Structure 1
């Protein structure tokens, strides 16, 4: 930044240093030629800082056109008309446009399914680097922001290869994502491609907000994120802004609500689900109504509104029983067991979990059995039946480990850490919270929960400096995610630790 500012203000003499200019310099990736051209154009036009910022937002790299033989555009076009580039064939220009379109560039590990019909892909990409059009960064072939801005097509309709790439992304998104079912592990591709996919969907829905295909893909994208990379999405406001009669709105709202839930935004999650429930009731879709009731029961449990959640779970269960949907019954009974447990109705919770295990065994639903063993462990822990609790957790651990269900592995180790914490066996609590953490690397919210428990263990061990550090990190995570309830609880813990440090 310092070098970029020095280069810019040596030429530009029409204003003081400004954050607006700093922002533009960052967007230019501190590219020397671009900075020199920008300063030259601004100086000759006698633009003040605000005018320059306005022209940049309006024209982007168009601002960088100075004299014909010195312009940024001319420098790029010279590379594109060089013998080295022309020898790469007609695919090269399309491929460089696709790289420019995506914020991350393209993933070298995914070339075969992104560009299956493009020959000599690796050779072409090597030549792009040789011509200084691209560079490699963390496994991606990408380019500096000014080049991206200049070379990028406006959308899939403006580039045949980008249109084909879009189709490959959409095909990958069409795989149903459920733990324990085919395609679940393969769907981890989203963890490296999520930024590109979101940008693609944002561009398409901006060009054509009524595109049914794009909104179907949007819902599927959010479901992939929920299981493999939970985070907020910039598409959220667009989803909420869709007309209520849009065919894809309910499904997109469901998936958006689950992402909000995954990062701890529970009140907002509930509001979206209430809206979705209204839409499905109006459409008379019983099964979808049951699904939303099930999601609402989870949201209300996390908001400690247990009675409301139990009522919704029972209504969902009645619908699934009436339609003989065993998988729906299993999922709802699991939710009901967790709700009843949270409401301290331990016997009723145990009955619901046992019913779920029987039904899960009928359809070989190991994920459902794993969840039930976990809630049974929680019930036994609350009853003071430690050995029984450990047996249930270990059974769940064996099931989850064989299928590498990261979210289940996290919560099982998390529960074991809490069990040993309650008993004052802090060494064991440390072991399990450290075992839980690796399963939370793609989920900042549950990582925050793990750090909070570790802070509580360290606090009880009177290691206040370390406890404060963990609690501060956890609070920072909850604040970034907007998880108000968790932030309040963690803030009280932090205040308590600091109070002890000051005694």
Structure 2
């Protein structure tokens, strides 16, 4: 045996098989052999600390009992010849002597000491030799003297040796398996409810079924009437299934044509039947599938039959209660892995690999077995995994994940779907999030009957439906997805569909038609990122792919702020790649939104250089006003003013009204920073007129808000409030960030005049627009903290700042909220120090050397 799990299970299963089969023979010597050997194995299992030294003895006993089981299954006790009885008696004596040597009734307390003694290894070897000799004698006698017909005692239940040799099957004692097992046992014991365990190959269905078969509650109800039938070991024909069923239950009916001759036997007593790997007989596209299904359906309805089915396919009798077998937990996966891979070190890299396997039991077991067989340390295992992924999951005995998966692809139902189905399945497997079922029509327009094919994938347990997505376990995805995406025409078409959708809905703002539709990226950002990341790994030249990257980054900026793995690839593009300038511009916008203004400026500076080389004036101007805004955030106001003016000149030459408006708007923001408030008001007013001409309501709203702040800074309170009210009247109810910004401006205005109640009312209104958005929520929490700071409620302000930080970190935000929190914490700490200084009674308005702060 190669692993502890196999050794332990081998002993447990051997004992169970012996306890089961010793009830069958009617002659006393045979029963004695079974009983004494079972006891011997029990002592080994329960008493020996180092089971490795004694497991071969246990297997020898299992061989002996297997021979007895095979012989006695073919003959009644009164038909055995005298030599066979003598062989049984001799075998009985030998086993009893060994057991007596192991367990002296007067010396049980010293058992552990005896088994740990090194000298006993020689004794064990002698026992093994004696058992082998007796075993050969017994088999010879049995072959020479037993010539009887097959009797009805033969069990379909797997013999001890067969079970012991089948230990490559998964044995995971996790909470998930325990819960499934308990539901199954309760249903069978309490009401004989037929149960079907459904799941993908290698998920542990057979393991659960075997634990149910040997559960004490099942044994108590059904006794020895428990049968285990592997449906993948015969051709799926009604005659074969009925014959196997007749033999398994001991009906003694040769070649039954239907259940009629078996029914009297089946109805005479309660019986528990496991149909393992039943997809082999329940595939509706198989030959004679309806006839076999009818037989299984009738079995499921018999009042005294407890039926348990394991199947990859969901076409089970309607009376069966379906239990989907899930993947296991991290703890269970870790326990299973280290039970086989017996190393003291437990590095995080192993946990990472297990997680990337989606805790698929067979994959976990194969990974551990391969590492154990090759004696790899964790570093070597990690290297092999990174190099070969799931291809590493192949043991020296050719047990592999690939074989398990490919078995499902040979089913009649899968083959009936047509020759291109394998490629379609591979494309579904390619996407880490799965495929949004609502997008099947525009994503796979070339695949006829695509919804029906997806249904079949789910029936075959190759995929599952989770939150509207067609998903697949990670090991299956890795095996089935195309290694080189360029070799799959369908995947290339899918990439083009995504690229087209990104391009059409890419550069829209909230006040433009189609903006809501462009939010689809929130659900599929991981899929699109993976698609583009893989394609750009094979193609660093194609402009269309990199244009799609720019559009994708722009979508993230608008709809799902986060960093992207495409960032380093974009920066690493050669400068003569035509799309690099556009990619850098979009990436800078994302970094700006995430609060990294210095790096955003660096990218824009590089992009500006590339756009000037290409002579694209429109993009040069666009990059200039964005650079101007970054310089405003970095406190480089004069540099920003010059860039805004240059952008404005280019847009005037191009006759681009919207570009001129945005340049005026940003110029006004910069002029505010250098206290040129009249010039700022004039610039923003001019921008608003142009935005009105362009019917850009979002920017008109923003301009009113900015003018309100300028007027507030100039002390023109009523004029400021008029601008704020105009902004609120223009804003759509779903422009949540714009409305929060307006209320923020009003809070600043009222709090500066000591009107804290009015200010608080606008904080509360701002809160109503957070709509469970972590970024907006953090924004408003900072606003609340700032208002409390202004009221010298410093402890409350500080607590709110930390809550805002926790909220932003919890949801992955690393942008302005974190920056504002740092600035505000400095202000609070400075105010606390000032309160201790009798000469200082004022609040600071901004942190020193921090020009980017709103405060």
In the superposition, the TM-score normalised over structure 1's length comes to 0.91
Structure 2 CA distance for aligned equivalents of residues 439 and 384 of structure 1: 35
CA offset at residue 15 of structure 1?
4.4
> SS of the residue aligned with 2:465?
strand
2:624–2:647 CA contact under 8 A, matched in 1: yes
- Identify the match of residue 402 of structure 2 among 63, 73, 76: 73
Secondary structure (helix, strand or coil) at the match of 2:732 reads helix
Q: Does 1:119 align with 2:448?
A: yes
Do the aligned residues in 2 keep the contact of 1:334 with 1:372 (CA within 8 Å)?
A: yes
Measure the CA separation in 1 of the matches of 2:545 and 2:425. Answer: 24
Residue 332 of structure 2 aligns with which residue?
3
1:268 aligned onto 2:599: yes
2:556 maps to what in 1?
225
Aligned counterpart in structure 1 of residue 355 of structure 2, from 26, 39, 44: 26
1:413–1:435 Cα contact (<8 Å) kept: no
Q: Which of 31, 35, 49 is equivalent to 2:378?
A: 49
Query: Rg: which structure is higher?
Result: 2
* Alpha carbons of structure 1 residues 347 and 201: separation in structure 2 relative to 1, 3 Å: same
Change over 3 Å in CA distance of 1:386–1:127 after alignment to 2? farther
1: CA distance between counterparts of 2:490 and 2:339?
42
Contact 1:421 1:429 in 2 (8 A): no
**Equivalent of residue 107 in structure 1, options 436, 445, 448:** 436
Shift of 1:495: 4.8
Could you tell me how far apart the structure 2 residues matched to 1:42 and 1:498 are? 59
Matched, 1:247 2:581: no
Distance 2:459 2:616 in 1: 58
Please state how far the C-alpha of 1:465 moved relative to its aligned partner: 6.6
Alignment partner of 1:38 out of 367, 372, 394: 367
Give distance in 2, aligned partners of 1:321 and 1:363.
15
Tell me, yes or no, if structure 1 residue 330 matches structure 2 residue 661. yes
Instruction: Please report the TM-score for the alignment, with normalisation by the length of structure 2.
Output: 0.55
Closer, same or farther in 2 for the Cα pair 1:312/1:85, shift >3 Å? same
Bigger mean CA deviation after superposition, 352-361 or 165-174: 352-361
Cα deviation, 1:279-301, whole Å, max 9, x if unaligned, reads: 22233333322211100111111
Match of residue 802, structure 2, among 448, 458, 472: 472
Q: How far did 1:92 drift?
A: 3.2
- State the match for 1:489 in structure 2: 823
Q: Distance in 1 between matches of 2:614 and 2:383?
A: 47
Separation in structure 2 between the aligned mates of residue 251 and residue 359 of structure 1, nearest angstrom: 26
Q: Is this contact kept in 1: 2:801–2:821, CA < 8 A?
A: no
Q: 1:356 aligns with which of 687, 705, 708?
A: 687
Match of 1:386 in 2: 717
Preserved CA contact (<8 Å) 1:397 1:409? yes
Stretch of structure 1 that moved more, 310-319 or 363-372: 363-372
CA contact (8 A) 2:736 2:770 kept: no
CA distance in 1, matches of 2:535, 2:683: 45
Report the counterpart of residue 424 of structure 1 in structure 2. 756
Q: 3-state DSSP class of the match of 2:470?
A: strand
Two-structure CA RMSD over aligned residues (Å): 2.7
User: In the TM superposition, what is the alpha-carbon distance from 1:72 to its structure 2 partner?
Assistant: 1.1
Any residues of structure 2 matched to 1:123-134 within 5 Å, and which? 123-134=452-463
Whether the aligned pair in 1 keeps the contact of 2:704 and 2:726 (CA below 8 Å) is: yes
| Greater share of helix | 1
Distance 1:369 1:7, change over 3 A: same
* Residue 428 to residue 135, structure 1, CA distance change in 2 (3 Å): same
Deviations 1:466-502 (A, max 9, x none): 64443124345489637685453144257569989x9
Distance 1:117 1:497, change over 3 A: farther
Whole-Å separation in 2 of the counterparts to 1:174 and 1:122: 26
- Cα contact 2:798–2:825 (8 A) shared by 1: no
Moved more, 140-149 or 91-100: 91-100
Are residues 427 and 318 of structure 1, via their aligned partners in 2, closer, same or farther at CA, if it must alter by over 3 Å?
same
1:63 deviation in Å? 1.3
Whether the aligned pair in 1 keeps the contact of 2:502 and 2:552 (CA below 8 Å) is: yes
- Give the Cα separation in 1 of the matches to 2:821 and 2:756: 25
Q: CA deviation at 1:195?
A: 1.3
* Contact 1:406/1:439 (8 A) holds in 2: no
Provide the residue aligned with 1:177 in structure 2.
Answer: 507
1:129 and 1:135 in contact (8 A); partners too: yes
Displacement of 1:314 in angstroms is: 1.3
The equivalent of 1:143 in structure 2 is 472
Change (3 A) 1:158 1:414: farther
**Residue 297 of structure 1 is aligned with which of 628, 653, 656?**
628
- For residue 188 of structure 1, report the CA deviation from its aligned partner: 1.4
Distance in 1 of aligned mates of 2:708 and 2:814: 29
Q: Please, which runs of 5 or more residues in structure 1 have no aligned partner?
A: none
* Shift, 1:250, TM fit: 0.8
Give secondary structure in 1 for the equivalent of 2:771: helix
Q: Distance in 1 between matches of 2:356 and 2:497?
A: 29
Question: Take 2:744 and 2:669, find their aligned partners in 1: how far apart are those partners?
Answer: 16
Distance in 1, matches of 2:766 and 2:751, equals: 10
- Alpha carbons of structure 1 residues 459 and 393: separation in structure 2 relative to 1, 3 Å: same
Match of 1:450 in 2: 780
SS at match of 1:141: strand
- Residue in structure 1 matched with residue 517 of structure 2 by the alignment: 186
> 2:263 — aligned with what?
none
